[in-house]
Amino acid sequence: MILYLLRRALYAIPIALAVGFVCFMLVQIAPGDPINAIVPPDAPGDVVEQVRRDYGLDKPLPVQFGLWLFKVVQGDLGRSLATGRSVWSDLSTAIGNTLMLAVCASLVGFVMGCTLGGLAGTFRGSWIDRAATGLAVAGVSVPHYWLGMVMVVIFSVQLNWLPAMGAGPGGSSDWAWDWEHFQFLVLPTITLSVIPTGIVTRTVRGIVAEIMNQEFVVALRGKGLTTFQVFLHVVKNAAPNALAVIGLQLGYLMGGSILVETVFSWPGTGLLLNSAIFQRDLPVLQGTILVLAMFFVALNLIVDLIQAALDPRIKRA
């Protein structure tokens, strides 16, 4: 068991390095001289040369990667071209906002998905099953940025119940746990939760259906347990896989919320990425992608470890 955990944790190191390399290459594949990603285009020639030497951009690519990596590990992600501030200072507030949105959406998705999937798996072939499966397919096929717009049209424009944009009254982005602020979270959360809802529903339905076919369920029924008591046993068996799926979904949502954040002007990493793309601010683009991808790598590792801890059968695989 401990050997498995160690092996899995060690395996994350080369992956993290390779992910770092891909992020490093992002600036290299960008059209034009990578120096343009560091200095503004109107900088005088001698300054450009100075910066080129300072950043080691006159050295071969592997050395450059080493230098870049050395800085990144120390938390230096470079400076934004547009604002001149360090990338990390903008990123740290944005990540908090994105994390909040992603966690809320994952929770909603997990609860909805488990309920729908559990019901569908238990009552297979019934109208509940068909409705849940239909909802799941719709959830994974809906362009969520469009769903966000539809939500805004219905709940903000037509009914005027909830705010359409931002993360706080008067455009402020200081968060507080009251209804004034919370209402800004409602529409983005629901919009973002449709994908995990769909995926968790599908997975849980499959798992529950498979478990319901196993002999121990028949044995429990034969013993005289009520449907609810049997259901509890099924939940215990389905939990590890369902948790793994939702854990990964949290990572996908962190990376995938860019479109939803754009629709709702939610001040997270997505909005940061969007403006970085718009202004071709490559250091911000690179830094944000790197941090989100590293978060995903870490999450993958944690999910695997938790799953192994919950389900002793895993470590044999």
Q: How many CB atoms within 10 Å of residue 208?
A: 24
**Six-digit token pair at 281?**
């601010």
Task: Please tell me the distance from the alpha carbon of residue 186 to that of residue 56, in angstroms, as a whole number.
Answer: 47
**Six-digit token pair at 66?**
């080493």
Task: Please tell me the distance from the alpha carbon of residue 113 to that of residue 116, in angstroms, as a whole number.
Answer: 5
Task: Please tell me the distance from the alpha carbon of residue 251 to that of residue 269, in angstroms, as a whole number.
Answer: 13
CB nearer other proteins, residue 37 or residue 185: 37
Least CB distance from residue 116 to other proteins, whole Å? 17
Q: Does 274 bind other proteins (CB under 8 A)?
A: yes
Amino acid at 78: G
Least CB distance from residue 157 to other proteins, whole Å? 5
Residue 268's Cβ-side half-sphere holds a number of Cα atoms within 13 Å equal to 29
Strand partners, 86: 79
CB nearer other proteins, residue 48 or residue 289: 289
Task: Please tell me the distance from the alpha carbon of residue 230 to that of residue 216, in angstroms, as a whole number.
Answer: 10
Least CB distance from residue 152 to other proteins, whole Å? 6
Least CB distance from residue 137 to other proteins, whole Å? 6
Q: Which of 252, 305, 307, 310 binds other proteins (CB under 8 A)?
A: 252
Scanning 41-49, 108-116, 134-142, 223-231 for contacts with other proteins by CB under 8 A, the matching segment is 134-142
Phi, psi of 224 (to 5 degrees): 100, 15
Least CB distance from residue 270 to other proteins, whole Å? 9
Scanning 44-52, 107-115, 175-183, 293-301 for contacts with other proteins by CB under 8 A, the matching segment is 293-301
Q: Does 29 bind other proteins (CB under 8 A)?
A: yes
Q: Any idea of the CA torsion for 130, 132, 133, 134, to the nearest 10 degrees? A: 80
Q: Does 138 bind other proteins (CB under 8 A)?
A: yes
Task: Give the footprint of other proteins on this chain (CB under 8 A).
Answer: 14-16, 18-19, 22-23, 26-27, 29-31, 124-125, 137-138, 140-143, 145-147, 149-150, 152-153, 157-158, 209, 213, 251-252, 254-256, 258-259, 262-263, 273-274, 276-278, 280, 282, 285-286, 289, 292-293, 296-297, 300
